[in-house]
């Protein structure tokens, strides 16, 4: 029985190390999700502001790139057709690579959400 307590301690330390790595991995994943959700919330606010500005028919004086300091490589696109309009805000995910050309829905099974939001609104005010 000599040395069995040393083996028990080694196994306990191994289990503790595995649990620590698991907790650190979960924390890192939560940090990435929180950063993406923060960018997405800012993009929604900017898209809503741009839609409201377009509906008010006032002169746009906003520098949208400066209004989005936390969205790396932010790009704003507006398209209108048949009385409806679409504002798309896209940005580089994680600060790397180019912004997506089209705001496509997420492919199931991926961990990276798309770096864009799209907001539809009525382009014409009803009388």
Strands (E) in the chain, as ranges, are: 75-81, 84-90, 116-122
pLDDT (tens digit, 9 = 90+) per residue, 83-117?
888 888 888 776 444 445 456 655 444 444 558 88
CA-CA distance, 26 to 104, in Å (whole number)?
A: 27
Q: How confident is the model at residue 25 (pLDDT cuts 50, 70, 90)?
A: very high
Q: What integer pLDDT is reported at residue 8 of this predicted model?
A: 92
Domain coordinates in residue numbering, the chain: 4-122
Nearest in space to 94 (alpha carbons), one of 79, 76, 74, 72: 72
Question: 18 is written with which tokens?
Answer: 């595995």
CA-CA distance, 85 to 110, in Å (whole number)?
A: 29
Rg of the Cα trace of the chain? 24
């Amino acid at each position: 029985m000599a040395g069995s307590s040393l083996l028990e301690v080694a196994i306990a330390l191994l289990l503790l190390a595995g649990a620590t790595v698991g907790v650190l991995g979960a924390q890192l994943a939560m940090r990435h999700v929180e950063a993406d959700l923060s960018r997405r919330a800012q993009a929604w606010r900017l898209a809503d502001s741009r839609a409201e500005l377009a509906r008010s028919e006032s002169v746009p004086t906003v520098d949208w790139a400066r209004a989005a300091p936390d969205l790396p490589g932010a790009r704003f696109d507006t398209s209108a057709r048949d009385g409806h309009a679409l504002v798309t805000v896209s940005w580089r995910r994680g600060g790397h690579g180019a912004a997506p050309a089209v705001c496509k829905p997420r492919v199931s099974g991926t961990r990276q959400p798309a770096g864009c939001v799209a907001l539809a609104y009525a382009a014409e005010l009803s009388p």
